[in-house]
Amino acid sequence: MLPYGHQSIDESDIEAVAGVLRGDWLTTGPAVTAFEDDLARISATSGAVSVTSGTAALHVAYAALGVGPGAEVITTALTFVATASCASVLGATIVFADICADTGNLDPQAVSAAMTSRTRVVAGVDYAGHPIDAAALAEVAHRGDALLLEDAAHSIGGSLDGRPVGSLADVTTFSFFPTKNLTTAEGGAVVSLLDDVIDRARSYRGIGLVRDPAVLRSPDEGPWHQEVHAFGLNYRLPDVLCALGSSQLRRLCAFKARRDAITARYNQGLAGIDELRLPTCREGADPMWHLYPLRILDGRRRALFEHLRASGVGVQVNYLPVYRHPVYADLGYQRGMCPVAEDYYQQEISLPMFADLTDLDVDRVIDLIRGFVGA
Ligand SMILES: *Cc1c(COP(=O)(O)O)cnc(C)c1O
């Protein structure tokens, strides 16, 4: 079975990991600092905090933004559940706003209509790798008492109007799961333009432990002494995985070029078919295509999915509207509340997309789809 997503690991990645294993630091060592510096550099932010997953990154980011009981978080339904559920576990109320039909990204007008005095965070997702309309969303959020979070699990390496993903929103989260644009096996990160958010994120990632004598409440307790000033968790990404991350970041431009080429090949091979809608790219956006989200408009998405799987082609559907997960349905969220996201979900099928995918395989997928729709 051709997978829909797959990591790309080469000898330079293996050497980077082996180098750490031969050294003294398995965790909390220099490879962590180096990876965080690399992340801050490519996202043009002043700081980065590595964590153990994209989910942990969202949890840390929401915590660093002060999300808790009484707060409202406005987000998209067309995302992986963690974008919403990480705010829910902190006690916030989730408000789902609808998406734009072209990109699948959060619609600033829908967000504007959903804003209240309790909104603390607007959380957009760079669906499939296409950056959110960050300027419009930030404007809406900042008009109220809210900050903009960008879940960039799909889009590290992309840019909007010449500015890299990571520097577009107040705070941005990444995922380094194997199917994403680069991998550390499990891993993620938070980057931000706001130094206090980075500080709180770093504290939350490390159980809230304080060692700096300048801020200890009891500096004379003894040389062994450390204190917790705010609650946190252990979300530390070890050196072994950070070294893999730095090595993969060195390959990011090559990954992007290959993903661009695959997208262009699908676009060309599937063009001009009435039943199909191909992914769009807005002016000024340079997406890092994590997915190739094809839409089939004739109601046969499931049949196409089963046909491709039966032909040995791994496909996915991204995503079930989040509020249809039983955990949200049980809280009273109604099916159909975001009609544009519902339509998108009904039509969408994600085709194989990863850096090591060959042109031969792309052409086979194109031929299977053309055959299915009779084109
Ligand atoms: C993958 C993903 C996450 C979670 O990342 P993990 O590393 O798997 O925990 C969050 N949001 C989106 C949009 C994702 O695609």
Q: Are 73 and 314 in contact (CB under 8 A)?
A: no
pLDDT over 90 (residue 375) = no
- Taking CA atoms, 351 is separated from 45, 291, 367, in Å, by 33, 7, 13
**Edge-to-edge strands, sheet with 276-277:** 276-277, 292-296, 348-351
Say what the pLDDT of residue 203 is.
97
Q: Where exactly are the structural domains of the chain?
A: 11-249, 252-373
| Interval 337-365 mean pLDDT | 98
Identify which of 83, 171, 175, 180 to mutate to test ligand 1's pocket (most ligand atoms within 8 A of the CB). 175
Ligand 1 pocket member 82 (CB < 6 A): yes
Q: Which fold has domain 11-249?
A: Aspartate Aminotransferase; domain 2 (3.40.640)
Q: Which atom belonging to ligand 1 lies closest to the Cα atom of 175? A: 7
Q: What is the dotted CATH code of the domain comprising 252-373?
A: 3.90.1150.10
| Ligand 1 pocket, residue 57 CB under 6 Å | no
Ligand 1 contact, 55 CB (< 6 A): yes
Distance 177 CA to ligand 1 centre (A): 7
Residues assigned a catalytic role: 180
pLDDT single digits (tens) 139-190: 999 999 999 999 999 999 999 999 999 999 999 999 999 999 999 999 999 9
Ligand 1 center to 98 CA (angstroms): 20
Q: Is the CB of 83 under 6 A from ligand 1?
A: yes
Which pTM was predicted? Answer: 0.98
Q: Give 374 Cα–ligand 1 centroid separation in angstroms.
A: 36
Residue owning the nearest CA to atom 6 of ligand 1: 54
Region 89-102: what's the mean pLDDT? 98
The Cα–Cα gap between 153 and 176 comes to 8
| Ligand 1 lined by 43 (C-beta under 6 Å) | no
Segment 45-64 mean pLDDT: 97
